[in-house]
Structure 1
Amino acid sequence: MLNMNLQFIEEKDSQKTKRAKAAQAKKEAALHDPTWAEVWETGYITKTGKQKPGILQMNLTATDKARLLDVKKAIEAGEIGTGLDSNKTLTKTKALEIYRGLMNQRKTGILREMVEKTPTNYRLIQTVPQLRRLVEDLERETFVALDTETTGLNVYQDEIVGLSLSLPVADYHVYIPVAHKAGKQLDRDLVLEALRPMLTNPDLGKVLHNAKFDIHMLIRHGVRMKGLLHDTRIAMALLNENETSYALKNLATKYGKYFGFQEESHTFDELFGKTRFDDVALDVALVYAAKDTHLTLEFYKWQKEHLQKRDKLLQLHRDIENVLVDVCVDMEQTGLLIDREFAAEYGDELRAEIVAAEAKLKKAFGDINFNSPSQLAKVFYDDLKLPDNNKRSTDVKTLKALQGEHDGIKTLLEYRGLTKLLGTYVDALPEKIQTDGRLHGSFNQVQTVTGRFSSNDPNLQNLPPKARKLVIAPKGMLILGSDFSQIEPRILAHLSGDEHFREPYLLGQDLYSTLASRVFKVPIEECRDGSIYRKKMKIGLLAVMYGTSMFTLSQQLGISIEEAQEFIRDFFTSYPGVHKFILSVHESVKKDEFVETIDGRKRRFSGHREQAKAYDALARKICSITGTAEVPANFWKIKEIPRALKEAYQKVKGPVESVRRQSVNAIIQGTAADVMKKALLQVHAYCKSKGWELFATVHDEALMLVSDQITPAEVREIENCMLSAVDLNVPMKVDTELMKRWGEGIKKSEWFNQAA
């Protein structure tokens, strides 16, 4: 007993000692001011006992790393101070703030040095004889690089203050100031009129970076540029869709060493900040603007070499992406006609609905701010004791999961939908209408890594159905929408060659009903539209195509993770061709670290090979222990699997499965994107021939303004433009609607029956 008491006392003393040492270590860590090397390179232990990485140990873009190294060197050289009392407050964010201060401090010197080092073949065009000589030299060129300098970025309100051109044959680069506030310069109209033959000549190639902007700016001043040869911004997205920045100066800093530009190229913001370009002195404007086209010219030559080594990518750029720039310009110039009266009336209705919803919410939750996450969290988790499964979150996903716990949650979701509809769309969109009475957004053809179109100001992909009703057709016109039906499943059917998956399309059957009948092994009569089997299959097919995690699929279908895994297994058993195709993609991306669409668009996954090999090896070890063909969904619960093996597998599982999901998605969705782009090119050409306008694309739909006297034959021509964009081994289908107001479409057959 005495020994036991002594042992207890010793253990108690030992615990006290450990606690004392831990407290002392924490105190020392709190007082510790990290060294310069610790802050930047090695990291250090914080007062909480965690290892804080050094600034240069963090995940950094190439641009940020270069800037941070510049800051470190400048501080060490005494060029700039940190302005901090302690090293521990020097973070990556603070270091980048210091970089901006460093650039401001250096700005005058940088600009002076730029002017002093202005290349001898950079020329200002300030007189009529100089302009005349330039025009003569342009006639001997087969292509030129072009750029505009402007008062801002609004292509419908800002103005051109100068143009720069690079002439490869004549071997010089010019800046033509036309609206600077000081300095000798020519009149803008005179310059544009002199350059009009060159700018509108389709046989003289133009090379630009982000050409769409410059084309819009020239249209602003009455000139429609023709003859786009190459857009270095778009080409770069094809050569590397993973770039962190597509700004010309940032790309030049990264790749310039390969085509003769060794020094860092500073961006407009770094050099001029909020200064408008018409306030910039002409000697500075020359070296900045002429360098832009000089860079663009050399960048084009370098990109061209790489594209010519990749035939399919070259063809994709030449035949689809490059010619699509003009289509985007036309869609943006056409814009959306907004019904202001409807917006005002609808806004009043929504405000009344919001007031009614707020009254219900006050009864349910009390008089609080229903837009305040902290106040909502207090009511939900402290007062009402609702289940907290997501760190006191009150986001939409969490609220949807809580709907069954309290009747007021449904009202809160409705309230949020109403306030977003009102504030983001119904009230906001009319405020963005330009002087021509239309809302002009932006269509981005290479913004996404799969090549799908996106849009902004407004984002049409996210525009709620009710907000679409703000958009109307002009007098004498109709909105016609032609939408590819199930384009991605059809592409999967084509690529996989699975005879059972192709069968519904070949026989004109409903895809989801047929799939549900085979996978769930129930009569097809029980899988018709509206059935639970068909609904589950629509969700399940997306999971199959894009590798949705078992956890997410289980939540979507309302089943266990094991049942979700069983669903996928049953699907692949029923459709072995689809399974074989997906496995082949996994193997291909492991071998090559990229995948391609039918038209050669690439999606690259650098570093995947080694992780995938480790993943496969670890999965084989687990399967040998469990005696299963695949790693069980509940592998963490299986005691026979060593913990170290579980942890090693878990470490690579997320990254590898993410790449596998993205690779299959990139092929299917990327091919659909290419098909849609080819369809848009054909629809655009047909609309122009009829005097109509293509004005938008949303997902797999083309939207156009057509005559209200359009005939069934003309609608069929539009559909043929869509359908002839691709030749698959399953038939394609488009659904077409006509309408006066977007969102109130009538199927073409009903429309023409009414007209008759």
Structure 2
Amino acid sequence: MWAELNERNKAETLRVLVENTPTHYVLVRDDQTLTQAHDVIAAADIIAIDCETFGSADNPDGALDPWSGNMAGFSVSTRDYSFYIPLNHDERTKLTEARVFERLKPLLERIPNVMHNAPFDCKWFAVKYGVNLIDTLHADTRIMAMAFDENRSHRLKDLCTDWLRMPGDNFDQLFGRTPFNQIPLDVALAYAAGDTEKTLKLYDWIRGHYGKRDDLKRIEQLVFNVEMPVCRQFIRSDIRGIRFDTEMANALDAQFEREESELQTQIYTLLGEDINLNSPVQLSRKLFTDLKLPDNDNGSTGVRALKRIKKEHPIVPLILEYRAVGKLRQAFTSKLPHNVKSDGKIHPWHNTWGAATGRFTCSNPNTQQIPAKRPEIRHLFMASGPDRILVSIDYSQIELRVLAHMANETVLIEAFEQGRDIHSTTAALISKGAYTYEDIERYKDTDGHAAAKFRKQAKIVNFGIVYGMGAGKLADTLEITKADAQTIIDDYFRGYPGIKRYMDEQHAKVMRDGFVTDLYGRKRRLHTDIKAKERWKVFAAQRMGGNFPIQAGAGTILKQAIADLELILPQYDVFILLQVHDELLFDCPRTITATALDHIRSTMENAVNLRCPVRCDVEINPERWLKKVDADAWFNEDENE
């Protein structure tokens, strides 16, 4: 009954939607309406564009993948008209795809455009029809909305309902699983043309607010001088893609499968029976009831709980290793070959403002997660051809440099100026005089030496402070008591008083203003009006208030560098392929010179002026990612040839 009632309501909603179609919505179905669309678009100063896509019966996910799906049609709005142009609907028109793009492609590639979630639409137009909407992409209203409020929903219909008081229609509620190409054209017009009309109105609404306050003027500069160039760059990067060695991935997966099986056998031997190692209940019973290991976390068999007891029994490290290998298979060697397109490349989806901090995220696949500690997985990614090489350029300890700048911590600043190793500097500090900086440097690679232990602790503390790590998490990570961890943190702040002062000021600012900002004016709104019984939320807000400017600042420096490189990379026939944390992976000609790479590196280093120097490391990977060669030897060899 519910299903039947829902269908009746949906039919009524669609009927009303069609009846109320505005008169300035036009369905382009013949040469006359195509000419009208052409002339209106040609006279516009800016247009909004959106495409509607669909998959097939055996590949419904193709609606999200331009390499395997199809475009049902697209809508274009000016400030006077909204058009829907069908391409592949079951209900046919008098126009072919070729005719539509013969007339409209030159205009679409010339008129500045605005979209909501532009990477999606730009990729579809480029991959399916060779239409370049990237160079004329002026604004992405999703990014503009993120800059206004990073904590809310950024769906177009939610934004328009809340900000413009223009309620929208939810696709799933209207159409369910019906592919868009099966939707009647009068319904498609009312729905799709409304989307682009709302996009353009949302763009105008946000732009109208920029001039009202100085902080909003900074946000405008951030959006159009940094975020949009980066957005355009990574649409191009994702379309270009990176070659992937499927055959080697399958062989590596088989190797990991053997490792997994061998570890499983060792675990079963120690357990005395075969159990489902993926069952928390069965594993908990064996560990804490049968083997009587310390149960510190109420029977939990999670990674954090197991790390606490891994010295108690030889089975625990084996379980952790077994899970790690399984995760490598699940996330990479078994999965990545399925992401390879017909061109032999992986085309990831970089979301250039995917996190609330303004940092990148990535999906399908998430190339940011590919571990450097297992280089054989990065080796699966290859240069695009024999005449190309991969080059990675990575910011050196950029978050710690931003921390030194923000805190005006003279000890850290001097260490960076003198080129001293920051982790060894901190290690000497927390050793309380037991070791000098020179001692730490001398013995840092000597296994078992106390100096090496202090440096390992210092490295974790240095980055942990940036991410607001408390004594409990530090204790788990270092496998020490919470009291010892707190002592290390206290010694750290005592040695770096500027950092302690900065953190205290940020905590106070959060409580006073409810937000903090990074170097570029990017805001993080943190809710601190919490009842006393939820004090942990206040502590969390204060922790984020301290680390947000550091994380966001480092991320925005990388973005500023990407924007600065927009005009430089074409000079050397260089392309960005991937972004991994503070690293960029480039596709370069094999003949690229040391001078050219130095120009790119120095551009990245000069993207920001901090109180301490900013440094980047360059690695040359002739054939495979992370299979690096000595740069001096590489260029000397070229000169000799």
Q: Which residue of 1 aligns with 2:143?
A: 234
Deviation (angstroms), 1:255 = 2.5
Q: Which whole-Å CA distance do the structure 1 matches of 2:304 and 2:473 have between them? A: 12
Alignment pair present for 1:134 and 2:17 = no
Deviation (angstroms), 1:370 = 2.3
Q: Which residue of 2 aligns with 1:561?
A: 482
Q: Which whole-Å CA distance do the structure 1 matches of 2:486 and 2:333 have between them? A: 43
Q: Which residue of 2 aligns with 1:271?
A: 174
Q: Which residue of 2 aligns with 1:485?
A: 396
Q: Which whole-Å CA distance do the structure 1 matches of 2:600 and 2:159 have between them? A: 40
Give the alignment partner of residue 592 of structure 1, picking from 508, 513, 519: 513
Matches within 5 A, 1:138-537: 138-151=41-54, 152-168=63-79, 171-201=80-110, 204-219=111-126, 220-225=128-133, 226-243=135-152, 245-257=153-165, 261=166, 263=167, 265-309=168-212, 310-365=216-271, 366-464=273-371, 465=374, 466-474=376-384, 475-522=386-433, 523-528=436-441, 529-530=444-445, 531-537=452-458
Alignment pair present for 1:678 and 2:585 = no
Q: Which residue of 1 aligns with 2:536?
A: 654
What is the aligned residue count? 610
Q: Which whole-Å CA distance do the structure 2 matches of 1:288 and 1:416 have between them? A: 47
Alignment pair present for 1:742 and 2:622 = no
After superposition, the Cα gap between the structure-2 partners of 1:381 and 1:517, relative to the gap in structure 1 and judged at 3 Å, is closer
1:488-536 alpha-carbon deviations (Å, 9 max, x no partner): 1101111121222211011121112222323433222332234222211
Deviation (angstroms), 1:253 = 2.7
Q: Which whole-Å CA distance do the structure 1 matches of 2:482 and 2:322 have between them? A: 33
Q: Which whole-Å CA distance do the structure 1 matches of 2:279 and 2:343 have between them? A: 39
Question: 5+ unaligned residues in a row in structure 2: which ranges?
Answer: 55-62, 446-451
Matched position secondary structure for 1:123: strand
Matching residue's letter, 1:506: E
The alignment-based identity, stated in percent, is 33
On the 8 A contact 1:250/1:267 being kept in 2, the answer is: no
Matched position secondary structure for 2:394: strand
Alignment pair present for 1:730 and 2:612 = yes
Q: Which whole-Å CA distance do the structure 2 matches of 1:546 and 1:162 have between them? A: 45
Larger radius of gyration between Structure 1 and Structure 2? 1
Q: Which whole-Å CA distance do the structure 1 matches of 2:41 and 2:83 have between them? A: 12
Q: Which whole-Å CA distance do the structure 1 matches of 2:264 and 2:498 have between them? A: 53
Alignment pair present for 1:106 and 2:9 = yes
Deviation (angstroms), 1:287 = 0.3
TM-score, with structure 1 as normaliser:
0.78
Q: Which whole-Å CA distance do the structure 2 matches of 1:497 and 1:593 have between them? A: 23
On the 8 A contact 1:680/1:702 being kept in 2, the answer is: no
Deviation (angstroms), 1:747 = 4.4
Matched position secondary structure for 1:141: coil
Deviation (angstroms), 1:586 = 1.6
On the 8 A contact 1:144/1:206 being kept in 2, the answer is: yes
Give the alignment partner of residue 710 of structure 1, picking from 573, 576, 592: 592
Q: Which whole-Å CA distance do the structure 2 matches of 1:360 and 1:476 have between them? A: 47
Q: Which whole-Å CA distance do the structure 2 matches of 1:378 and 1:454 have between them? A: 38
Matched position secondary structure for 1:697: strand
After superposition, the Cα gap between the structure-2 partners of 1:104 and 1:325, relative to the gap in structure 1 and judged at 3 Å, is farther
1:432-462 alpha-carbon deviations (Å, 9 max, x no partner): 2111111111101111011111111111222
Deviation (angstroms), 1:675 = 0.5
Matching residue's letter, 1:472: M
Deviation (angstroms), 1:133 = 2.2
Q: Which residue of 2 aligns with 1:44?
A: none
1:75-127 alpha-carbon deviations (Å, 9 max, x no partner): xxxxx87xxxxxxxxxxxxxxxxxx9875441111000101111111111111
Residue range with higher mean Cα deviation, 556-565 or 106-115: 556-565
Matched position secondary structure for 2:309: helix
Residue range with higher mean Cα deviation, 682-691 or 419-428: 682-691
Matched position secondary structure for 1:431: helix
Q: Which whole-Å CA distance do the structure 2 matches of 1:458 and 1:746 have between them? A: 27
Q: Which residue of 1 aligns with 2:28?
A: 125
Deviation (angstroms), 1:406 = 1.8
On the 8 A contact 1:455/1:461 being kept in 2, the answer is: yes
On the 8 A contact 1:683/1:694 being kept in 2, the answer is: no
Deviation (angstroms), 1:295 = 0.8
Deviation (angstroms), 1:357 = 1.9
Deviation (angstroms), 1:142 = 0.6
On the 8 A contact 1:426/1:470 being kept in 2, the answer is: no
Deviation (angstroms), 1:360 = 1.4
After superposition, the Cα gap between the structure-2 partners of 1:340 and 1:513, relative to the gap in structure 1 and judged at 3 Å, is same
1:613-640 alpha-carbon deviations (Å, 9 max, x no partner): x9xxxxxxxxxxxxxxxxxxxxxxxxxx
Matched position secondary structure for 1:451: coil
On the 8 A contact 1:339/1:471 being kept in 2, the answer is: yes
On the 8 A contact 2:26/2:33 being kept in 1, the answer is: no
Q: Which whole-Å CA distance do the structure 1 matches of 2:357 and 2:4 have between them? A: 38
Matched position secondary structure for 2:392: strand
Deviation (angstroms), 1:753 = 5.0
Matched position secondary structure for 1:319: helix
Matched position secondary structure for 1:726: coil
Deviation (angstroms), 1:662 = 0.6
1:163-199 alpha-carbon deviations (Å, 9 max, x no partner): 211111xx12111112111143421121112111211
On the 8 A contact 2:225/2:563 being kept in 1, the answer is: no
Deviation (angstroms), 1:387 = 2.0
Matched position secondary structure for 2:591: coil
Q: Which residue of 2 aligns with 1:699?
A: 581
On the 8 A contact 2:73/2:85 being kept in 1, the answer is: yes
Q: Which whole-Å CA distance do the structure 2 matches of 1:318 and 1:153 have between them? A: 27
After superposition, the Cα gap between the structure-2 partners of 1:470 and 1:316, relative to the gap in structure 1 and judged at 3 Å, is same
Q: Which whole-Å CA distance do the structure 2 matches of 1:542 and 1:105 have between them? A: 57
On the 8 A contact 1:178/1:185 being kept in 2, the answer is: no
On the 8 A contact 1:103/1:270 being kept in 2, the answer is: no
Matched position secondary structure for 1:404: coil
Deviation (angstroms), 1:589 = 1.8
Q: Which whole-Å CA distance do the structure 2 matches of 1:199 and 1:432 have between them? A: 30
After superposition, the Cα gap between the structure-2 partners of 1:574 and 1:419, relative to the gap in structure 1 and judged at 3 Å, is closer
Matching residue's letter, 2:98: D
Matching residue's letter, 1:525: E
Q: Which whole-Å CA distance do the structure 1 matches of 2:480 and 2:311 have between them? A: 17
Q: Which whole-Å CA distance do the structure 2 matches of 1:332 and 1:388 have between them? A: 47
On the 8 A contact 1:488/1:672 being kept in 2, the answer is: yes
Matching residue's letter, 1:327: Q
After superposition, the Cα gap between the structure-2 partners of 1:412 and 1:562, relative to the gap in structure 1 and judged at 3 Å, is closer
1:380-415 alpha-carbon deviations (Å, 9 max, x no partner): 222222222223222222222222222122222222
Question: 5+ unaligned residues in a row in structure 1: which ranges?
Answer: 1-79, 82-99, 615-647
Matching residue's letter, 1:581: Y
After superposition, the Cα gap between the structure-2 partners of 1:276 and 1:327, relative to the gap in structure 1 and judged at 3 Å, is same
Q: Which residue of 2 aligns with 1:549?
A: 470
